[in-house]
Amino acid sequence: MKQRTFALLIVTVLLASFLVMGPAAAQSDTLTIASGTDIENLNIHIVTSSPSFSVLEHIYEPLFSMSPEGELEPLLAESIEATSDTTYRITLKEGISFTDGTPLNAEAVKANLDWVLDEANGAPFRFLLVVNGEPAEVAVVDEYTLEITTAAPFAPLPAHLSHGALGIISPALLEQGADAMASNAVGTGPYVLESWSRAEEVVLKRNPDYWGEAPAIETLVFKVVQEDGARIVEIEAGTVDVAVRVPPAEIPRLEANPNIDVVVTPGLRTIYVFFNVNNEPFDDVRVRQAVNYAVDTQAIVDNLFEGAALVSTAPFAPPIFGYAEQQPYERDVERARQLLAEAGVEEGTTVVLYHPTGRYVQDALVADAIRAQLAEVGLNVELRTLEWTQYVPHVRRPMEEGNDVQFAMLGWSTPTMDADYALFALFHSSEVPPGFNGSFYSNPEVDRLLEEARSTLDPEARKAAYSEAISIIWEEAPWLFLYSEIQVTAIRNNVSGFIVHPDESLIATFAEKN
Amino acid sequence: MTQFIIRRLLLALPTLIGASFLVFWSIRLVPGDPALALAGELATPEYIAQVREKLGLDQPILIQYANYIGNVLQGDMGRSVRSGIPVLEEIQIRLPRTLLLASISLIVSSVFGIAIGVTSATKPNSWFDGGSMIFALLGVSMPIFWLGLMLMIFFSVLLPQWFGLPGPVLPPTGSGTWQHLVMPVIALAANSMALQARMTRACMLEVLQQDYIRTARAKGQQERLVIYRHGLRNALLPIVTVLGLQFGTLLGGAVLTETVFAWPGIGRLLVDAIAFRDYPIVQGAVLVIATGFVLTNLFVDILYAYLDPRIRYA
């Protein structure tokens, strides 16, 4: 009797769930994106994570935008011209208003850039507007014109102005201070904030008065689904239209699903191992080259990433301005052994490789693969790892503080999509620790080329300088060049026009759903 | 009784202060600098020092702690290092969600757990007993994480496929409606239900051997009354103890369930905060969970007196 009641109860519950169906597949005017993490807050000048930028870039627009192909296009700005070596004059589009009715003008832009430049506000992307340690100066010329003056000639400035963190916030909101900016959002973009339920979802509605072409999708939902497996279930169930960060192992499964497209986008983060060129044995270029020959990067990419990474062909990723493709060091055990012998490195020499654990995809496994492959050329690698917040200060100590690091794994992302950001801080001799040049790499010719490329405004001349610098760096191998990351996104195939940007932001403005 | 409650509540204060100090002190022992985590890997040493000063991390730990407790007593638990959002606000959003999930899971698991346990005990070594104990063993050993994903695939992907339904039977993740509760509750309740079934069975088997049960039966009382009034009530003491502990665990330990089902509860808040060295959030969340434990224990103690009239608190 009791068992029968129990069974009956279960059947009833099941039936009830069938009848009162959960949310059916989303409607055609709503696009739901399963994102891995929640936004930090709503202040675009303060946030740092790509999920935050993905949401906020639909509300806020910077002066320029960087296309996924790396082309700089005017957005709120109409045009930009250099009036001297150190001054840019920017003309704004006319007739644009913030969604609170405040007009967009030169004063509003100046107020935003000054807010970012004010050190007291702690804007993490302040460095975008700082040249040689000196903050840029912003001056209003007239209603729709402003001038930005830097301490030294600085060609990447227009690219820097396209960074999401320099999106323009309504001056009315800006005046209310950081707390208000963190909990409210008023911009000029194609969408407006509808609601933010912390740790759950952000909902955006189409801006009915948008100055540009109106987006097709009425409502955007950025839903926080932290667990990789759960995001996969969501996209398979059709309860979301887009799922980010698909784990490599799930790619074949999703590709087999006729309702889902798997989209692969190159990323902007390069993973590398830097050699400290001050410390033995990597003070000898032959040893550094030998390690590059000994490590089979392609095998690492194939086996640990299911192919979802890109073997490095330059010290930074292909979508970045200034990229110049180099011939990768193909695995050659004989050559590596020979170079080591020439350099006098004995068989069985022990070297210590530092690596982070859990900071980058598969980082510890990659370090172990390097250890195994170097063993084959007679180098005995000892692996050491540290908790991330300890790791960076440890591997990037000044020599005076007893830096005994031999080689260490790190990643570097180039959100400005300009080679200046990717190379200057990492390879210019003025940037040795506590700067970011952990290799202590120093080559006067590379220094000169990087300085020239930074101060020349002609894009072709810049490209040429970068190309030359890259080939020198490639030859002298202050790094073990590894790979750059790839983003894998799953999109329901009734969605078109959805853009996954190399900088990891997701653009739904041009998306359509049928 | 009132005196007992007041005394227990007063005793809870040093417990909470002790717990909060332990947390305060131990998360500062963990290697890793929140100033660095906040400032980002691109920060200059000057900026990191500035951040450290702003967070008060340059002060001796006892002074930091005294400041913290002083602020908490005034209802200010600080702001999240990462998002700048007040900790209290964050907890106010998360706590009700966790309480909801934990209490429904506890109700479901104890109703089914105790029912299964009692039935098994009254028919020891029957097929029901064997079957339910195997089931209980499965429940105890099944990782919540895995069970959660399997439920999700079953209800949201496979069932609609088999029956050609337009959408999933249950929404895979999120919160807000009762449908959102079903899978997290099953996942969370499975484990404690299994534990309670086994516990109840063991206690009942022991109680049913007692003389007074024989006496009750000899008096000609209905079997149902014998089992529930004379048997279960006497077997309940250890079961209630386990229940109390379970609730405490559910409060802080729903992390996995909350993560799999994207349920915005306090456990997930805590784990995210630990990963980011978000001290104020960690401290606030632990304080809340510790308070939950203390209150639950107090409630269990009071329940003892009700269940067993021989227990008196003077």
Phi, psi of A483 (to 5 degrees): -155, 165
Query: B152 and chain A: CB distance < 8 Å anywhere?
Result: yes
Query: B86 and chain A: CB distance < 8 Å anywhere?
Result: no
Average pLDDT over residues B247-269: 81
Query: B278 and chain A: CB distance < 8 Å anywhere?
Result: no
Please indicate whether, in this complex, the C-beta atoms of A199 and B268 are within 8 angstroms of each other: yes
Q: Contact at 8 Å (CB) between A86 and A152?
A: yes
For residue A339, give the nearest of A298, A292, A380, A371 by alpha carbon: A292
Chain B residues touching residue A360 (CB < 8 angstroms): none
Average pLDDT over residues B237-242: 83
Write down the residue that tokens 């009425």 correspond to.
A218
Please report the pLDDT score of residue A363 as a whole number. 86
B118: closest CA of chain A, how far (Å): 12
Please indicate whether, in this complex, the C-beta atoms of B84 and A436 are within 8 angstroms of each other: no
Does the interface ipTM go beyond 0.90? no
Nearest-angstrom CA–CA distance, A225 and A208: 29
Please, how many CA atoms are within 13 Å of residue B293, restricted to the half-sphere of its CB? Answer: 14
Closest in B40, B84, B94 to A182, CB measured: B84
Q: Contact at 8 Å (CB) between B166 and A25?
A: yes
Query: A180 and chain B: CB distance < 8 Å anywhere?
Result: no
A212: closest CA of chain B, how far (Å): 31
- Domains annotated on chain B, with CATH: 87-307 (1.10.3720.10)
Nearest-angstrom CA–CA distance, B22 and A463: 57
Q: Contact at 8 Å (CB) between A112 and A104?
A: no
Nearest residue in chain A measured CA to CA from B183:
A17
Query: B61 and chain A: CB distance < 8 Å anywhere?
Result: no
For residue A390, give the nearest of B41, B98, B203, B62 by alpha carbon: B41
Give which of B38, B128, B146, B173 to mutate to test A binding, by max A Cβ within 10 Å: B173
A128: closest CA of chain B, how far (Å): 12
What Rg do the C-alpha atoms of chain A give, in angstroms? 25
Contacts of A152 (CB under 8 A, 6+ apart): A86, A131, A132, A134, A455
A470-506 per-residue burial string, b: 16 or more CB within 10 A, e: under 16: beebbebbbbbbbbbbbbbbbbbeebeebebbbbbbb
Query: A120 and chain B: CB distance < 8 Å anywhere?
Result: no
Give which of B29, B30, B33, B41 to mutate to test A binding, by max A Cβ within 10 Å: B41
Nearest-angstrom CA–CA distance, B130 and B120: 8
Please report the pLDDT score of residue A1 as a whole number. 45
Tokens, residue B216 = 């009750």
For residue A212, give the nearest of A75, A63, A73, A65 by alpha carbon: A75
Please indicate whether, in this complex, the C-beta atoms of A199 and B85 are within 8 angstroms of each other: no
**H or E, element range at A183:** helix A178-183
Write down the residue that tokens 């993905």 correspond to.
A54
> pLDDT higher for B188 or A498?
A498
Query: A130 and chain B: CB distance < 8 Å anywhere?
Result: no
Please report the pLDDT score of residue A88 as a whole number. 94
For residue B115, give the nearest of B238, B232, B248, B246 by alpha carbon: B232
Nearest-angstrom CA–CA distance, A391 and A354: 8
Query: B179 and chain A: CB distance < 8 Å anywhere?
Result: yes
A residues 38..77 contacting B (CB < 8 A) = 40-41, 46, 48
Nearest residue in chain A measured CA to CA from B119:
A2
Please indicate whether, in this complex, the C-beta atoms of B167 and A238 are within 8 angstroms of each other: yes
H runs (alpha helix) in A343-481: 363-375, 388-395, 419-427, 444-455, 459-476
Chain A residues touching residue B37 (CB < 8 angstroms): 389
Chain B residues touching residue A201 (CB < 8 angstroms): 174
Please report the pLDDT score of residue A13 as a whole number. 59
Please report the pLDDT score of residue A181 as a whole number. 92
Please indicate whether, in this complex, the C-beta atoms of A198 and B93 are within 8 angstroms of each other: yes
Give the pairing type, strands A309-311 and A201-206: unpaired
Region of A327 on the Ramachandran plot (φ > 0 left; ψ -120 to 50 alpha; else beta): beta
Q: What is the DSSP letter of A446?
A: H
Query: A233 and chain B: CB distance < 8 Å anywhere?
Result: yes
Contacts of B182 (CB under 8 A, 6+ apart): A17, B155, B170
Please report the pLDDT score of residue A262 as a whole number. 94
B residues 195..234 contacting A (CB < 8 A) = none
Per residue, the 3-state secondary structure of B277-290, as one string, reads: CCHHHHHHHHHHHH
> With the CA atoms of B31, B36, B37 and B38 taken in that order, what torsion angle do they form, in degrees rounded to the nearest 10?
140
| Confidence band, pLDDT 50/70/90 cuts, at residue B253 | low
Residue B179 has pLDDT above 50, yes or no: yes
Nearest-angstrom CA–CA distance, A486 and A66: 18
Closest in A20, A122, A223 to B179, CB measured: A20
pLDDT along chain A (514 residues), means of 10: 60 54 61 89 87 94 90 92 92 95 95 92 85 90 95 90 94 92 93 90 94 93 89 92 89 91 91 94 94 95 88 93 92 93 92 88 90 94 84 85 91 88 91 87 94 88 94 95 93 94 91 90
Please indicate whether, in this complex, the C-beta atoms of B42 and A124 are within 8 angstroms of each other: yes
Closest in A25, A201, A236 to B157, CB measured: A236
Chain A residues touching residue B271 (CB < 8 angstroms): none
Q: How far is CA B100 from CA A97, B251, B270, in A?
A: 44, 10, 17
Closest in B171, B268, B277 to A22, CB measured: B171
Contacts of A219 (CB under 8 A, 6+ apart): A29, A30, A31, A194, A203, A204, A205, A206
Please indicate whether, in this complex, the C-beta atoms of A199 and B33 are within 8 angstroms of each other: no
Nearest residue in chain A measured CA to CA from B40:
A124
Please indicate whether, in this complex, the C-beta atoms of B82 and A199 are within 8 angstroms of each other: no
Contacts of A502 (CB under 8 A, 6+ apart): A68, A265, A266, A267, A268, A317, A319, A417, A487
Q: Look up the pTM and report it.
A: 0.83
B residues 108..147 contacting A (CB < 8 A) = 115, 119, 128
> DSSP states of B146-186 as a string?
HHHHHHHIIIIIIHHHHHT-SS-SS-SS--SSHHHHHHHHH
Please indicate whether, in this complex, the C-beta atoms of A21 and B33 are within 8 angstroms of each other: no
Chain B residues touching residue A389 (CB < 8 angstroms): 31-34, 36-37, 277
Please report the pLDDT score of residue A22 as a whole number. 45
> pLDDT higher for A418 or B61?
A418
Please indicate whether, in this complex, the C-beta atoms of A200 and B152 are within 8 angstroms of each other: no
Please report the pLDDT score of residue A178 as a whole number. 87
Q: Contact at 8 Å (CB) between A302 and A338?
A: no
A residues 304..363 contacting B (CB < 8 A) = none
Chain B residues touching residue A434 (CB < 8 angstroms): 44-45
Nearest-angstrom CA–CA distance, B21 and B16: 8
Query: A464 and chain B: CB distance < 8 Å anywhere?
Result: no
| Length reported for chain A | 514
Per residue, the 3-state secondary structure of A53-77, as one string, reads: HHHHCCCCCCCEEECCCCCEEECCE
A119-137 per-residue burial string, b: 16 or more CB within 10 A, e: under 16: eebbbbbbbbbbbeeebbb
Peptide bond into A281 cis (omega under 30): yes
Give the pairing type, strands A219-224 and A30-35: parallel
- Domains annotated on chain A, with CATH: 22-41+189-259+493-513 (3.40.190.10), 60-175 (3.90.76.10), 267-486 (3.10.105.10)
For residue B93, give the nearest of B269, B286, B291, B257 by alpha carbon: B269
